Chains A and B, each alone.
Chain A
């Protein structure tokens, strides 16, 4: 079956522009997670969605970051007024339920010039 799909795989943009990253979870997975991984660093939690519950936004680094998910389908992570420190790989993961293993997509490599 299809895994977690993320697009674009690479994104290069100028400082100050807005970017939108997309994640399509595994079908049937109710939980969806976004992480950030800077070069040579560990995984940094950003946000997660569980069904129709309010998302846990506690990891979002600033109000320039926002994410949406409609039902149990696609999610988008939006970064407004990008800064160079936003350069990283943005990883999406999904799981059947909140205590089940998370399965990762291939990530979006974001580079801010």
Chain B
């Protein structure tokens, strides 16, 4: 079982729409959750971090965390063509994993295209 899974995409939405990106994780002890954006040929860039259940909003981005369902999502409102990129979900698998403490497990990413 993969540690972190993302909807494989690609996802294509029109400009101005809401893009919804989903991620599930395997370890109930997970404590920290992150969304990264990666443009083609560039390195990942942190967009959001979330640590507790509920929603966290930052501008057009909202991260949602449900630890009971082991699910984290990213909503992008009023999507723009400049949002076109691969979005990576990353999970720190908690403080009880011994030698893996500190590792971030990344999903394979969801490619988003926003068309004008």
Contact = CB atoms under 8 A, between A and B. Distances in A.
Given A99-B32, A104-B43, A106-B43, A43 B99 contact: no
A56 interface: yes
B43 A98 contact: no
Interface stretch (B10-18, B55-63, B69-77, B101-109): B101-109
Nearest to A107: B43
A87 to B, nearest CB: 15
B49 interface: yes
B43 A56 contact: no
B109 A42 contact: yes
B102 A98 contact: yes
A41 B111 CA distance: 12
11 contacts: A42-B107, A45-B103, A45-B104, A58-B99, A98-B92, A98-B101, A101-B46, A102-B34, A102-B46, A104-B44, A105-B43
Interface of B: 31-32, 34, 42-46, 49, 88, 90, 92, 95, 99-109
Interface of chain B: mostly helix, strand, loop or mixed: mixed
Interface string A71-110: 0000000000000000001010000001111111111000
Given A99-B31, A99-B92, A43 B102 contact: no
Nearest to B36: A104
A58 B88 contact: no
Interface of A: 31, 33, 41-43, 45, 48, 50, 56, 58, 89, 91, 98-107
A43 B103 contact: no
Contacts of B88: 42-43
Given A42-B109, A43-B88, A101-B49, A48 B43 contact: no
Which one of B34, B88, B102, B108 has the highest number of Cβ atoms from chain A below 10 Å of its Cβ?
B102
Given A99-B32, A101-B34, A107-B43, A56 B103 contact: yes
A107 B34 CA distance: 20
Contact of B106 (A43, A58, A98): A43
